[in-house]
Structure 1
């Protein structure tokens, strides 16, 4: 196992609910499993070996209500690249796939970075029309000079707000259409691109089409070739749309929690895995750095959330992937820590359980 980076998150549900990713597609099942990759190395070590308080980590587990009430499915904690905690509930196992919901968006960000690194995309200031005009000639949004950066920061200016049922671009309306990219590109403009962000899954789906057009590959093939293959991710399953012609890069990717931890590890190691730079260090810095600010003060990079988190007498810089129901990949570089949670607390304040466990027990357990 590579050296894993730690994610920590502070605050309560505001950012969590903003990063939800709704839709009922692909609810999880403990029976949805895959075979682990060959020669998988995953051995739990004593907490003391990595400078953590094992009793406090056990308190995190003991603090939860009875299984079936807390609705967490998994909790993984790793420090210095070594697994310290691996806990599953409600029939889930190490080989259970879990719907990541909007935590998928952070993986889409990594793929955009890879495409830029390889020269398939010119950079974040490239207009999306460069790669979408051929397939969507005359689409209204293509005339507004929307760039990749605007989609990565959810600041396209289009009438798309997943948290507002009355918004023309609200995601549940998109799911009822055949071609979600067409749906997004047909939305009217409310403001010029680059203004205040508005949470919009449709824009991240359009990024998936950009990646596919630029690379001349289907999204799952691109991911397998440049990201999941090198990470030895086991049996990733993407959702699709447009009569299975296109891939949902805004949500609903299914991964094992161990493989979610590999994503956190990759980010912790600044894009490097087993000595190979899969994603450039500069992209990791940009995508997890401050790019925009939500109205409630939450920070946002390129489809990665940011919040400070308390530790002793200081605040830690934390970035994380966040999906409805409690799907979380936390990365806390200063503590060399990664924490992963999956769950079934959809559209519920209980989805903050993972965040609270991180705040109350996991971060303080670092000696």
Structure 2
């Protein structure tokens, strides 16, 4: 599959053999059967926001090359993207919207939500509401789900954060008992997860499992004794000046979907990316510990036939100026991306409407062919 070669040349042979990228694009969770676009959701402008586009040269980037990233795209109806934002040295240098979206519209993040859930778990640990990623999930879910089979397996938070619970849950496999498309029609998605059969020992090979990330949200809610929207607003969004966030819910509105479908503005995704780039610091305040940022965006596991994975963050390597650099990224069905490249001091955000489509990999092409070549000096 040539998309594998285009995305990851250093592992093209193995990924092509698995034909894995198409599965990732089509099942980058929080998507499931909901593979349709929804109309842009307008929200009031954020009047407190300081957002001024800087000249590319001011941050050591080639403005002409960045301009080509936009001008050489096909028509918006063809490319299917909704936004593209580039920040270097903390300054926005490119901000572009298409297909009815603008700076004051929310976008469904699909599985990019999972990386934000990782930040919430880190904050819960920082606040000592959760002791450690080595805690078993039964410590937090046992009272609500007594006797659930999965809670007898010593599955830890780290296992769920790395998609290695060992439960029969694989969003890439339509026949898997825990496939997300089988979860959505049920009422209680956490109950769905903790009643799945065991496939292997916890901590082994990882398989992409949205249901487990939903259960992580319930862990944070139980530990904090707050709803996820309240906990996220107080601990993460408010410090960053993120004023508009819409979570999806389930269980007759009693629980929050932390595996997908959070809606945010692209500018707010850029803020979250910048927070991670700055090792958890925002305007002088440590919002998330530097230790959590390092651990969650560092390699913790291999999932889905060899993809490097942190705690709900994907990892990858790219070439910039002849040097290999590391990046971590959030990834959601349809082209929802937050790329964080510390060695280039760069954050790149995309949102899109290319659900379950080959076109959802376009952000990787733009990153490789235009944005990274525009960086003039590391």
TM bucket (normalised to shorter chain) is over 0.9
Given the alignment of the two structures, is residue 226 of structure 1 paired with residue 235 of structure 2, yes or no?
Answer: yes
- For the 8 Å contact 1:109–1:287, the answer to whether it is kept is yes
Of 242, 249, 257 in structure 2, the residue corresponding to residue 240 of structure 1 is 249
Unmatched 5+ stretches in structure 2: 1-5, 10-20
- For the 8 Å contact 2:171–2:179, the answer to whether it is kept is yes
Of 1, 8, 12 in structure 2, the residue corresponding to residue 11 of structure 1 is 8
Offset at residue 234 of structure 1 (A): 2.6
Unmatched 5+ stretches in structure 1: 1-8
Across the aligned residues of Structure 1 and Structure 2, the Cα RMSD in angstroms comes to: 1.5
Which aligned pairs between 1:198-277 and structure 2 lie closer than 5 A?
A: 198-277=207-286
Which aligned pairs between 1:71-110 and structure 2 lie closer than 5 A?
A: 71-110=80-119
Offset at residue 26 of structure 1 (A): 8.9
Question: Of the two structures, which has the highest relative contact order with CA contacts closer than 8 Å and spacing of 6 or more?
Answer: 1
Deviations 1:215-242 (A, max 9, x none): 0000000000100011111310000000
2-structure distance, mates of 1:43, 1:189: 52
> Equivalent residue for 1:168?
177
- For the 8 Å contact 2:168–2:196, the answer to whether it is kept is yes
2-structure distance, mates of 1:58, 1:17: 29
Of 57, 64, 88 in structure 2, the residue corresponding to residue 55 of structure 1 is 64
2-structure distance, mates of 1:79, 1:136: 46
> Equivalent residue for 2:298?
289
> Equivalent residue for 1:324?
333
> Equivalent residue for 1:4?
none
Deviations 1:47-76 (A, max 9, x none): 111110011011111221111011000000
Distance 1:256 1:50, change over 3 A: same
- For the 8 Å contact 2:163–2:303, the answer to whether it is kept is no
Offset at residue 295 of structure 1 (A): 4.5
> Equivalent residue for 1:136?
145
- For the 8 Å contact 1:26–1:252, the answer to whether it is kept is no
- For the 8 Å contact 2:29–2:260, the answer to whether it is kept is no
Deviations 1:125-175 (A, max 9, x none): 000000100000010000000000000000000000001110000001100
> Equivalent residue for 2:188?
179
Given the alignment of the two structures, is residue 32 of structure 1 paired with residue 29 of structure 2, yes or no?
Answer: no
TM-score, normalised via structure 1 length: 0.95
Given the alignment of the two structures, is residue 41 of structure 1 paired with residue 78 of structure 2, yes or no?
Answer: no
Distance 1:248 1:225, change over 3 A: same
Distance 1:78 1:278, change over 3 A: same
2-structure distance, mates of 1:212, 1:297: 32
2-structure distance, mates of 1:27, 1:227: 29
- For the 8 Å contact 2:327–2:339, the answer to whether it is kept is yes
Given the alignment of the two structures, is residue 21 of structure 1 paired with residue 18 of structure 2, yes or no?
Answer: no
- For the 8 Å contact 2:37–2:355, the answer to whether it is kept is no
- For the 8 Å contact 1:181–1:202, the answer to whether it is kept is yes
Offset at residue 296 of structure 1 (A): 3.3
- For the 8 Å contact 1:35–1:234, the answer to whether it is kept is no
